[in-house]
């Protein structure tokens, strides 16, 4: 039986799956637009307070049906801002009337930018909806509580179990909004970034594989990356080549592909030069790198300014006795796809692994004279680069510094990373939400809300930024980043395509591009 009108739902925040909810088209659009929000609660950014609770007008011609206005992007933006700015209790008190039915709960879910995926539920709700678009005056209506009473004896159009389901879905929508960083209102252009670079002095830089690809070092997850190139190995998951347990059982799995990720020595990219310049200007708080190539040290980043979150090839250690040596000492073994062995564990290893017909070559293959499976790991006495495998703890330096740095930083720049691997990927959520966040990457990162997205090759973006800042960044080759021709196109608010090809200049201008000439001066048609 239909239920009587209910009071405002009491919602407690907590974990919950999001299987019944999906981002609406409104939410997807919002990700590409500026949201007026500041966790600092700047009064100039305070969201608008509606005149009263949401009011859904009942149809006179069709009893039991309600007019559902279309929801504009700015309505969802303001509702989300209001929730994050004022908190859950005031949000519900402001947006919901004292007397309501379950359709109000559904409308609030939509207002926050979500939609119900359950087709059966939507069929029931649709029976009681009369959509209105903006041309029919279909914008959300907010009326004073005293002017929006329901008809006496009106009953909820949904069954109790459906109403309860909607309340749970509203809770999930609220949890997601509260857990999501909203983009800043006053930081979304290239000029904003340049101004902040000039004034900031505690910049947190988070780097990934994209900063090294220009040197021929493959990334991991792209269509041409390492994981795509090693599918032929037949592993259940390509990431298993970096699985610590698998390495301990059979280190040859890693050493069969290690030469593909072995870094070049004593070279670094233009992007590394850009980070070094931030250090030289006293602006770099810390560079947290997910890369294992150790190129930051070649570029001159000071050890105290560098956190190699996943370790590096700089050193190697014996997995048995933990003797450590410089990483380059095992590079020749890696290039030859051989197991590097610890000299202190070598003799003992020979007792376990002795190749038939070649007793002096204890490489640890399956065919051995003395090896009994299960008695000792095949990694006994093997030297392993000090890179952090899946299943290993991150270096203690990461945990020691990140807690202090997230509170100190005044700008976060993420470069060349898809932010797929935790806990490093969580840094963007750890930094206070009022700190500007910039992404420099070939592709957008859809699961994070960066204030500014500079999309292109990392070295090209570094050249663009150096020109706009009027900074000289000498390269290892002897060239200067300021001498590189760069075009950039503002795709939409907060998103720029960066193009390093003077031949594209004309097309870029025809498409509304901003062109930076070799002197660094911008010719803008904005």
How far, in Å, CA of 174 to CA of 96, rounded? 14
Longest dimension (CA), the chain: 96
* DSSP-derived secondary structure for 327-343: GGGGHHHHHTT---B-T
Decide: 368 and 356 in contact? Cβ < 8 Å: yes
Strands, DSSP E only, in 443-512?
452-455, 486-492, 495-499
Binding site annotation covers 409? no
Question: Annotated binding residue at 309?
Answer: no
CA distances from 12 to 83, 99, 398 (A): 14, 20, 34
d(CA 101, CA 306): 56
List 232, 259, 310, 322, catalytic entry = 310
Q: CB under 8 Å, gap of 24 or more: what pairs does 511-519 form?
A: 513/487, 513/488, 513/489, 514/190, 514/487, 514/488, 514/489, 514/490, 515/487, 515/488, 516/464, 516/467, 516/468, 516/486, 516/487, 516/488, 517/485, 518/482, 518/483, 518/485, 519/467
Q: Is 469 annotated as a binding residue?
A: no
| 128 in catalytic set | no
321 is in an annotated binding site: yes
Terminal-residue alpha carbon distance, the chain: 60
> Based on the number of CB atoms within 10 Å of its own CB, is 476 exposed (0-12), middle (13-18) or buried (19 or more)?
middle
- Helix runs in 230-329, H state only: 244-249, 252-255, 258-261, 270-280, 295-299
What residues are annotated to the active site?
Answer: 310
Residues making up the binding site for Zn(2+): 318, 321, 342, 345
Annotated binding site: 318, 321, 342, 345
């Amino acid at each position: 039986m239909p239920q009587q009108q209910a009071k405002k739902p009491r919602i407690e925040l907590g974990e919950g799956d999001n299987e019944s909810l999906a981002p609406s088209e409104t939410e997807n659009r919002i990700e590409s637009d500026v949201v007026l929000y500041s966790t600092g609660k700047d009064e100039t950014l305070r969201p608008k307070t509606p005149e009263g609770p949401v009011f859904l007008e009942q149809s006179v011609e069709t009893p039991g049906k309600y007019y559902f206005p279309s929801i504009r992007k700015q309505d969802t933006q303001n509702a989300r801002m209001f929730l994050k700015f004022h908190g859950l209790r005031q949000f519900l008190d402001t947006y919901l009337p004292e007397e309501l039915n379950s359709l109000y709960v559904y409308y609030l879910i939509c207002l926050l930018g979500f939609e119900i995926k359950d087709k059966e539920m939507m069929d029931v709700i649709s029976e009681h909806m009369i959509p209105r678009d903006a041309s029919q005056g279909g914008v959300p209506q907010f009326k004073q509580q005293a002017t929006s009473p329901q008809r006496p004896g009106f009953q909820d159009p949904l069954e109790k179990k459906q109403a309860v389901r909607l309340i749970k879905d509203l809770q999930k929508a609220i949890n997601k909004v509260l857990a999501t960083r909203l983009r800043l209102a006053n930081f979304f252009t290239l000029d904003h970034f340049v101004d902040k670079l000039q004034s900031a002095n505690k910049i947190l830089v988070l780097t990934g594989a994209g900063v090294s690809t220009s040197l021929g070092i493959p990334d991991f997850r792209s269509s041409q990356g390492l994981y795509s190139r090693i599918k032929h190995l037949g592993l259940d998951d390509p990431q298993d080549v970096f699985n610590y347990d698998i390495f301990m059982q059979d280190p040859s799995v890693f050493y069969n592909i290690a030469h593909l990720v072995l870094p070049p020595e004593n070279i670094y990219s233009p992007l590394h030069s850009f980070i070094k310049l931030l250090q030289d200007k006293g602006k770099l708080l810390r560079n947290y790198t997910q890369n294992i190539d150790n190129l930051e040290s070649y570029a001159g980043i000071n050890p105290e300014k560098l956190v190699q979150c996943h370790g590096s090839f700089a050193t190697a250690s014996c997995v048995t006795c933990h003797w450590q040596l410089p990483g380059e000492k095992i590079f020749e073994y890696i290039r030859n796809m051989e197991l590097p062995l610890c000299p202190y564990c070598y003799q003992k290893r020979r007792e376990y692994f002795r190749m038939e017909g070649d007793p002096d070559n204890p490489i640890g293959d399956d065919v051995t004279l003395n090896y009994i499976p299960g008695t000792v790991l095949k990694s006994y006495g093997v030297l392993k680069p000090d890179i952090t495998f899946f299943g290993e703890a991150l270096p203690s330096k990461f945990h020691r510094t990140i807690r202090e740095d997230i509170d100190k930083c005044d700008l976060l720049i993420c470069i060349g990373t898809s932010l797929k691997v935790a806990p490093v990927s969580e840094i963007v959520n750890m930094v206070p939400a009022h700190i500007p966040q910039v992404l420099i990457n070939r592709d957008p990162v859809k699961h994070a809300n960066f204030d500014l997205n500079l999309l292109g090759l990392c070295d090209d973006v570094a050249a663009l930024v150096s020109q706009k800042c009027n900074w000289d960044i000498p390269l290892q080759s002897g060239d200067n980043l300021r001498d590189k021709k760069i075009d950039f196109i503002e795709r939409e608010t907060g998103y720029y395509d960066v193009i390093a090809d003077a031949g594209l200049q004309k097309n870029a201008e025809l498409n509304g591009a901003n062109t930076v000439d070799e002197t660094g001066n911008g010719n803008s048609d904005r």
